[in-house]
A and B are shown apart, each in its own frame.
Chain A
């Protein structure tokens, strides 16, 4: 019962029906409200972006244009000097590599281990499940600053401080990731799995071939979360590495925050360069992780 004026299903809620005088007015109202929505939404978006926009513009301003009165958003002069200087002031390339390995390594390994654990908690009833669930929740609530020192001591004992594996290993799994995926798995329909189980498929196969594909949006979201969290983490790599060369980007950028003088231009330029991979990762996956799971395999 669709008319020629049917809107696409991505709308979700409204569909236009056959035109009559009443409906024509309704349609205009509908269109107007859509434009109002767009305007409001774009205003909100610009407000949300304000500090980030400031960051981007500041990276291109000479230092004298940054700390100045009256302040302007748009640069009075454009310069690329900060982008050049940043590579000379700190071992930027090395830090980039370190950060990619650290954040990337943690993300990949964590997704694997987290999802396995979540699958067990969500789908495989076992004695002690409640206890494990509570344990995960407790670990989730622990502020990181508390275990920092004992963890550092332990890794120091193993000789793993100042190494990338030392930074990655404690983060190979994550209470947040397990919790997040458990919730997600719990909300998935069981029909497919049950059918597969009846057919005699092993749990591993069900996990690999049925559940994980369905979980793609959640995995991508969690992956982005892990990636940006570790990419931007300052405290952990800072404590774990005793020299700059074995540290990560945030630690390098912190060098531009002097006690007395903050070198805003360099800091923002470096931050912008450091931000790119995470933003690219996000843009690549953003379509898929809001694509629904509803229509897959339910027919």
Chain B
């Protein structure tokens, strides 16, 4: 079991048993692979890929959900390129992702390292950090909105007792609305990523730390040279997931600010929702979705490739 091997995982050659002749093991493997894959693929193709293709088609029309769709070619795409609402949403989305994704991932790692040691109340803390993840975001966003209410909210009241006066309220203040929804975004997901890291941490054999200690390393050095590299698979997974999730931020923003004040917190998915379901411009909304998809795809590929090369596999 080589731990320091940093090469991408090579497929071990199959050892062919002398009993099997004729059909090579390679093609048998192929068939098996497809058999395993098929049920899932059928569902994905039928119920995700096909509707997606339809949505692509719709993005080239002026579909409004009631009348028949009329072909308008690339007009939607041309329009969105010059639409200030699109660019506003785009930069808001980028801002949100740039802050929330790294903060969530780093915080998750910190919490995981913290919870990897035994201490009084450890199970309680672990549960508490994970609980936001399984609560309905729609409902809990209402709870957050109430807590943050500048006049009758608990948090505002407590801050007021401490001398911090919030006149306008975070959610309608153009300076604080985005940080507020960002905070809820981190709060919601940090527990899930933490659990992934915890599982990874627990699979690092204690002997490695022993060995490192004998060599006289500091805790930080052990973290950097043993823990982090061995968590690289988890980091890959968590980073990709966090990036994708933050670029699609919607739920808590819809409940807490509706994209306001004056579009300061409107992300791309909020815009898609607004254009599609409120302005009834479903073709246009589809076009925006695909631009978002391409953007997310490009970013994720870059991130995935970069992290994959550093991943450790057995």
Contacts and interface: CB of A to CB of B under 8 A. Distances in A.
A224 to B, nearest CB: 7
Contacts of B130: 282, 286
Contact of B36 (A68, A203, A278): A203
Contacts of B125: 41-42, 44-45
Q: How large is the interface on B (under 10, 10 to 19, 20 to 34, 35 or more residues)?
A: 35 or more
A14 B218 CA distance: 12
Contacts of B137: 232
B67 interface: no
B202 interface: yes
B52 A126 contact: no
A145 B37 contact: no
Interface in B217-263: 219, 222, 233, 236-237, 240-241, 244, 247-248, 250
Interface in A220-251: 221, 224-225, 228, 231-232, 234, 250
A275 interface: yes
Interface in B70-84: none
B39 A113 contact: yes
Contacts of A129: 33
Interface string A140-152: 1111011101110
A176 to B, nearest CB: 8
Given A117-B41, A294-B205, A49 B128 contact: yes
A139 B117 contact: no
Interface residues of A, number: 119
A212 interface: no
A138 interface: yes
A11 B202 CA distance: 10
Contacts of B152: 67-69, 71
Contacts of B180: none
A294 B17 contact: no
Contact of B314 (A189, A202, A224, A271): A189
A183 B308 CA distance: 11
A19 interface: no
Interface in A151-199: 151, 153-154, 169-170, 172-173, 175-176, 178-180, 183-184, 186-191, 194, 197-198
A19 B216 CA distance: 19
B116 interface: yes
Contact of B37 (A68, A117, A147): A117
Interface stretch (A20-28, A50-58, A80-88): A50-58
B139 A253 contact: yes
B160 to A, nearest CB: 9
Contact of A290 (B124, B198, B209, B282): B198
A116 interface: yes
A149 to B, nearest CB: 6
Contacts of B114: 37, 41
Given A50-B147, A151-B51, A143 B289 contact: yes
A120 B36 contact: yes
B293 A141 contact: yes
Interface in B102-152: 111, 114-140, 142-144, 146-147, 151-152
Given A8-B118, A283-B127, A290 B202 contact: yes
A18 to B, nearest CB: 15
Contact of A169 (B47, B206, B285): B47
B34 A126 contact: yes
8 contacts: A13-B219, A38-B120, A116-B36, A125-B29, A143-B250, A150-B54, A178-B40, A221-B195
Given A12-B116, A41-B125, A221-B199, 10 more contacts: A41-B122, A54-B147, A135-B49, A145-B276, A146-B272, A169-B43, A267-B139, A274-B136, A286-B126, A292-B202
Interface of A: 7-14, 34-35, 37-38, 41-42, 44-46, 48-52, 54-55, 58, 67-73, 113-114, 116-117, 119-121, 124-127, 129, 132, 135-143, 145-147, 149-151, 153-154, 169-170, 172-173, 175-176, 178-180, 183-184, 186-191, 194, 197-198, 200, 202-204, 207, 217-218, 221, 224-225, 228, 231-232, 234, 250, 253-254, 257, 262, 264, 267-268, 271, 274-275, 278-279, 282-283, 286, 289-294, 298
Interface of B: 1, 9, 11-12, 14-15, 17, 19, 29-30, 32-34, 36-37, 39-41, 43-44, 47-52, 54-55, 58, 65, 111, 114-140, 142-144, 146-147, 151-154, 157, 187, 191-192, 195-196, 198-199, 201-206, 209, 219, 222, 233, 236-237, 240-241, 244, 247-248, 250, 269, 272-273, 276, 282, 285-286, 289-290, 292-293, 296-297, 300-301, 304, 313-314
